[in-house]
Amino acid sequence: MVGQFDFSSGTSESDVMGQMTSSGDSRVEIRELIDQFYHSPAEHSDLGEFEKQTTVPAPFDTLLDHNAHMTVTVESHHGQSVGVEVHRCRQHENWYSREITLVTSESKKVVQYGIVRLDTMALADEVWRRIESQQTPLGRVLIEHNVLREVQLLGLWKVHAGPSLAALMKCSVGDVTYGRTALIYCDSKPAIELLEIVAPESSLGAPPPGASPLGATS
């Protein structure tokens, strides 16, 4: 049975870990990621309600259930490049977090929401400075700097959008979409923790003819 993870329900920390882990090498705690910008159970629910999944329906399966960069995946699906909009960011010592959306360059559609938490000490200085500039999606920065990386999918989630997520993704409160938690290793070091949520199906559209295979440029 798929476990319900409703942040307003008083789920215990040990239950959370049991629900979110789909890999023996899990290092990403979804509650801690959301805590970066939503600091109480009420604020968690303002983002959305999350249910752990073992599989997700099409077209979300090809968008989420893989070990490739989401930047590449959404660009392939929509047939155009994406830019990043950073809505909030914070830094404490060597840990940097930001809340973002990815927006298509031509149609200006919001196609992904994300929370990123990264260890600046695990990145080369020129890579970190480019990420810090907020001009380029994180995955694209890693690709263009030829960082030796491994993207590890950790969990799939069904998401009921709360008011904050709906406002950022330009959808309706209660709309159902899907997301994932993932971890990126850079030069064999765990460096980047991710919560990535794609737009609801009504906003996705079909991939254009001739779109490149999933992960082809990752």
Does the structure show a pLDDT above 90 at 209? Answer: no
> How many structural domains does the chain have?
1
> What is the DSSP track for 38-89?
--SHHHHHHHEEEEEES---TTHHHHHSSSS-HHHHHHHHHTS-EEEEEEEE
Does the structure show a pLDDT above 50 at 24? Answer: no
In a domain, 4, yes or no: no
In a domain, 10, yes or no: no
DSSP single-letter state for residue 124: -
Report the 10 Å Cβ neighbour count for 11: 17
3 phi-psi bin (left φ>0, alpha ψ -120 to 50, beta other): beta
In a domain, 17, yes or no: no
> If residue 37 lies in a helix (H) or strand (E), which one and from where to where?
none
* pLDDT tens figures, 75-103: 999 999 999 999 999 999 999 999 999 99
C-beta separation of 208 from 65 below 8 A: no
In a domain, 33, yes or no: yes
Note down the domain range covering 164. 26-201
Partners of 118 in beta bridges:
96, 192
Mean pLDDT of the chain: 85
The domain spanning residue 48 has which CATH number? Answer: 3.40.1410.10
* pLDDT tens figures, 145-167: 999 999 999 999 999 999 999 99
pLDDT (average), residues 63-78: 94
Report the 10 Å Cβ neighbour count for 101: 20
The Cα–Cα gap between 55 and 215 comes to: 19
> Residue 83: its pLDDT value, please?
97
In a domain, 35, yes or no: yes
> Residue 28: its pLDDT value, please?
82
* pLDDT range class, residue 207, cuts 50, 70, 90: low
